[in-house]
Structures are given as structure tokens and as C-alpha cells.
A = this chain, B = another copy of it.
Amino acid sequence: MVCVSSQQLAERVSHVTTRLARMLRQQDEGELTLTFRAALATIERRGPLTLGDLAAIEHMAPPTVTKVVTQLDERGLIQRTIDPDDRRVTRVSVSPAGAALLAADRKRRTEWLAGELRRLSADERERLAAAVEVLEGLTSTEMQRA
């Protein structure tokens, strides 16, 4: 195995991430954009979450979270509740409609990428899966595991 410089690896990760994100947005045929889907998936998996929690997990600025959550709410995909003990705090969780959409969208959404992945060898897929775990760790926060 080649000796991997963190510097060079970082550049390649950065470049391929930029390009892949662009391609994923282009291919996007689902009901939800990448950003909304990521937020909703996190709310489903980790909810109920305060908006601050969601901001920390997804590494979004608070106003971005406000916007995303407002739109998800308008579409009936989440439920919002105000904490009775601290009325500044809002918690969100996925609604039945949101869970249904997420499930339905799952197929359509990743159709292109899943198709590409199917053309890889099993070995390549495993390498990718191993690396995805590394990246997931990198994009995690302490808060997230709490």
C-alpha cells in the first residue's frame, strides 16, 4: 500500500466530494433535495431533536436550520413541539407522512448512485463502505454520540 500523505489525501477527498455533490444534485429525481433529505433522515433517525441539535449534527448555521425546518413543517413532513419547560426550545420529529416520503424517496433518490455502485466489484463496494464509516466519523460531533 502506498504511503498516504494527509495533505494529498485531503485534496483528493475535497475535490471528489465537490464533484460528487454536484453530480448528486444533478441526478436528483426525488421529492426532496439533498439538503432536505439529509435533514429529514437525521430527524428520523435521531429525533426528537432541538433545532440546535440538528444544527450541530448537520453542521448547519442556525438560520439554515430554521429555513429547512420551516419548509419541512409546511410540507407536513415533521412535527414541531415547543418545550413546555423552556419555551425558547423547539423539538422536531418525523411525521408519518415524512417517514413515508423518506421511504418512497429512498429508491428514486439514490437510483443513479446505487446503479453506479452495482457496477463496482464487491471488493470495491466493501472498500467504499469501510471508508464511508471513516468519513461518517469525521463529520460527527461529540454531541451526536451523546
Contacts and interface: CB of A to CB of B under 8 A. Distances in A.
A21 interface: yes
B120 A16 contact: no
A10 B139 contact: no
Contacts of A24: 14, 17-18
Interface in A97-118: 106-107, 109-110, 113-118
Contacts of A31: none
A107 B18 CA distance: 18
A53 interface: no
Q: How many chain copies does the complex carry? A: 2
A89 interface: no
A125 B130 CA distance: 11
A82 interface: no
A90 B26 CA distance: 25
A122 B6 CA distance: 10
Contacts of A132: 9, 12-13, 16, 131
Contact of A59 (B1, B19, B128): B19
B129 A130 contact: no
Contacts of A107: 7
Interface string A31-61: 0001101100100000000000000001110
Interface of A: 1-2, 4, 6-7, 9-24, 26, 34-35, 37-38, 41, 58-60, 106-107, 109-110, 113-118, 120, 122, 124-132, 134-136, 138-139
